[in-house]
């Protein structure tokens, strides 16, 4: 936020009299609202938070030796399935969808300005009735929406499909460990979805995952797992960035103390508070 210094009562151009009648007064603008300050966590804090998070999810690992992610992919060619933003409700003014986040680092669904004196107001319009907790994922393959914190991101990597219509083709895959207050699970994103999400999401982000499908995990039958792909129309909206590493991250940190009467804001705040406890960032 710009600061100004104003000098009042400066002497005229003519010689200053022996007995000065003027005085100097410094006026500065008011301090910025805490929600508008560009909070950047020190590297040591980010490293310690990452260590604590890794210890928390423990045995949930990315590489399962007997899970061959490239053997059973038989979706239609990616050209016929665009990546769509299909969240359970209209886009919000406080969250940022991955496509818009990649188009520019200066704008998102909400309007944030370093020069603004108005607090960054949260406005999440998704319905809690449309959300499925990780601990309650259905066994069948219907699409679900869920609100989670990202604990780890791996990729995107490139793998070769071994079977199906696209056998022999190389596609992108992104793996994430996510969690909420009741469970920790895995998300595997494929193709264009993997490429888009991998360039935007980071550890500590509280995200709304839309149109993702429950998946099986042979090595960890008790671990919730989800799959995201262009075929499913999967989408990711970043609701809050818990580990800010640059000034630009401020636009992903709405003031969650505001609009506490809104159920969606309380839901996001609860996941943020849970992640902060896990990462050792609680006050």
Domains and CATH numbers, the chain: 40-279 (2.40.50.140)
Q: Which among 261, 167, 176, 170 is positioned nearest to 215, based on CA atoms?
A: 176
pTM of the model: 0.70
Number of Cβ within a 10 Å radius of residue 159: 18
**Mean pLDDT calculated for residue range 116-131:** 77
Radius of gyration of the chain (CA): 24
Would you state the pLDDT for residue 75?
44
How many Å apart are CA 242 and CA 120, to the nearest integer? 15
Q: Residue written as tokens 């895959």?
A: 173
CA dist., res. 216 & res. 42, Å (int): 38
Check residues 245 and 208 and name the one with the higher pLDDT: 208
pLDDT over threshold 70, residue 280 = yes
Q: Residue 227 has what pLDDT?
A: 93
Find residue 174's DSSP bridge partners: 189
Cα–Cα distances (Å) from 189 to 110, 176, 230, 281, in that order, read 26, 8, 9, 29
Residue that the structure tokens 């990649």 belong to: 102
pLDDT for position 142 = 83
Q: Read off the pLDDT of each residue in 102-112 and give the average, rounded to a whole number.
A: 41
- Name the one residue in this structure whose structure tokens are 């679900």: 144
Distance CA 172, CA 146 (A): 23
Rounded CA separation 24/109 (Å): 45
CA distance 174 to 154: 6
How many CA atoms does the CB half-sphere of 43 hold within 13 Å? 0
Whether the CB-CB separation of 247 and 40 falls below 8 Å is answered with yes
- Residue 117 makes CB contacts below 8 A (sequence gap 6+) with 33
pLDDT tens sequence across 47-86? 888 889 888 888 665 555 444 444 344 444 444 333 434 3
Tokens of 169: 């083709």
pLDDT (average), residues 170-179? 93
Q: For residues 206-215, give the mean pLDDT.
A: 94
Exposed, middle or buried, 1 (CB in 10 Å: 0-12/13-18/19+)? middle
Q: How far is CA 207 from CA 4, 40, 126, 200, 282, in A?
A: 38, 20, 12, 11, 20
DSSP lists the bridge partners of residue 160 as 170
Q: Hey, what are 46's tokens? A: 């980010």
Give residue 26's pLDDT band: very low, low, confident or very high (50, 70, 90): low
How far is it, in rounded angstroms, from Cα 230 to Cα 85?
A: 10
Task: Tell me the per-residue pLDDT of 125-143, one tens digit each, with 9 for 90 and over.
Answer: 888 999 999 988 887 768 9
Q: Which residues pair with 173 in a beta bridge?
A: 157, 190
Spatial separation of the C-alpha atoms in residues 159 and 174, rounded to whole Å = 10
Tokens of 142: 């219907």
The pLDDT confidence band at residue 175, using thresholds 50, 70 and 90, is very high
């Amino acid at each position: 936020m710009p600061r100004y210094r104003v000098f009042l009562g400066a002497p005229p151009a003519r010689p200053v009299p022996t007995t000065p009648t003027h005085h100097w007064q410094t006026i500065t603008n008011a301090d910025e609202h805490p929600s508008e300050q560009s909070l950047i966590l020190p590297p040591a804090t980010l490293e310690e938070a990452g260590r604590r998070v890794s210890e928390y999810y423990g045995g949930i690992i990315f590489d399962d030796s007997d899970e061959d992610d490239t053997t059973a992919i038989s979706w239609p060619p990616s050209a016929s399935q665009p990546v769509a933003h299909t969240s359970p409700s209209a886009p919000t003014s406080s969250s940022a969808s991955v496509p818009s986040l990649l188009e520019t680092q200066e704008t998102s669904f909400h309007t944030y300005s370093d020069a603004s004196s108005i607090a960054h107001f949260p406005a999440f319009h998704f319905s809690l009735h449309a959300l499925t907790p990780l601990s309650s994922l259905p066994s069948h393959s219907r699409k679900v929406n869920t609100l989670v914190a990202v604990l780890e991101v791996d990729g995107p990597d490139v793998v070769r499909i071994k079977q199906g219509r696209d056998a022999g083709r190389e596609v992108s895959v992104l793996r994430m460990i996510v969690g909420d207050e009741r469970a920790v699970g895995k998300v595997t994103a494929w193709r264009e979805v993997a490429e888009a999400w991998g360039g935007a999401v980071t550890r500590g982000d509280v995200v709304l995952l839309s149109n993702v499908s429950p998946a099986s995990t042979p090595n960890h039958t008790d671990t919730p797992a989800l799959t995201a792909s262009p075929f499913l129309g999967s989408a990711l909206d970043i609701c809050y960035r818990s580990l800010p590493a640059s000034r630009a991250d401020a636009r992903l940190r709405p003031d969650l103390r505001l609009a506490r009467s809104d159920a969606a804001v309380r839901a996001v705040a609860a996941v943020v508070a849970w992640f902060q406890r896990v990462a050792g960032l609680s006050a």
